[in-house]
Amino acid sequence: MIEVEERPIADRLEGIPPPSDSMELLGHTTELQTLADNYRAGRLHHAWLISGPRGIGKATFAFHMARYILSNPDQASATESVASNLWPETVVRQVSQASQPDLLHLTRPWDDKTKKFKTQLSINEIRKTQSFYGMTAGSNGWRITIVDAADDMNANAANALLKVLEEPPKRSIFFVLTHSAGSLLPTIRSRCQSLSLTPLSDEVVSEKLISFDLGVPKPELEEISKLAEGSVRRAVVLAQGDVLSEYRQFLKLMENGAKGAASDWVNVHQISESVSRRGREDAYSLFIDLVISWIGKQVRLQTESPPHVLAGWTEVWDKANQSIKLAEAFNLDKKQVILSLFGSLFSQNKL
């Protein structure tokens, strides 16, 4: 890893190197080699839709492939190996410092006024491709754009990206990252070759968590790695904050069949106030993901239950997902989302 001065990068976790700095790719090596082989053979498609759950290494994968291409400008003589120790120091450092002239990383921008990252990847960011591809290319002639993540685009940005993909500049390569490919415009998906990356194993997540030296007690390593569901990012958020404790409180309420008694709501308010505090956006998102995942498991487990019970869990699932989407779209109060979620769960437990 190259040591560089920290700079604002959307979704960056404190103390953890961002994908642009990471020289290690966990898993996905077969897929990386396949793309490298296609590049050497002159068959690499101009646009790749790289999909998979958040935190499994999609951005790290894209930056690895970008460094490989930038390190091997001549396809015919490119190295067969994708090992990072073969990349020139200049390329590695420029990518880490966001100063590589032939690489454009599009992500949610930092707002100096609010001292926060903007909530969307706007059309103004996508339009940066106009000046990027309008300039004279470097010695290799390749230009690479990483859209990270396409899920953050608003409608105008999505249409602007589609236009670029429909009429791609010469010697251009796009890596479009998405946590949910189905949520993107079908026309964007049709312009890209799809590459789905799978979650990492619990063992790999555990080993990486240990390497970060976050002081995770051994008894919790297995629990965190399992709940992470193949995402190093989820594992780090669980290890660094109180989400694990809050989720345990949630599980205790559910296992005890809580139906909304006064004491139940006292616990719920404690959880909701903690998770929805300012500055805990990652914790809130992860807590919601964990609860939604738990509800999904209940739906699958109730297939042989009476119809009204199964229908009730399905309704809880639908309501939860709908309220979360509305909250994200209209920036609604996070605490209220959690209270509403528990209200649905308590009603279901009364059946």
How many domains does the structure of the chain reveal? 3
Q: Which two tokens stand for residue 63?
A: 């930056």
253 and 232 together in one domain: no
Instruction: Give domain status of residue 179, yes or no.
Output: yes
pLDDT in 10s for each residue of the chain, 351 residues = 444 445 677 888 887 889 999 999 999 999 999 999 999 999 999 999 999 999 999 999 999 999 999 999 999 999 999 999 999 999 999 999 999 999 999 999 988 888 888 889 999 999 999 999 987 665 557 999 999 999 999 999 999 999 999 999 999 999 999 999 999 999 999 999 999 999 999 999 999 999 999 999 988 999 999 999 999 999 999 999 899 999 999 999 999 999 999 999 999 999 999 999 988 988 999 999 999 999 999 999 888 888 888 899 999 999 888 888 888 777 788 999 999 999 999 999 987
The closest of 72, 25, 75, 74 to 50, measured between CA atoms, is 25
Whether 60 and 156 share a structural domain: yes
Decide: 276 and 338 in contact? Cβ < 8 Å: yes
Q: Are residues 53 and 111 in the same domain?
A: yes
Could you tell me which residues are beta bridge partners of residue 111?
Answer: 116
Structure tokens at 176: 């479009």
Same domain, 209 and 248: no
CA distances from 34 to 63, 82, 126, 226 (A): 15, 10, 28, 29
Provide the residue range defining the domain that includes 190.
29-196
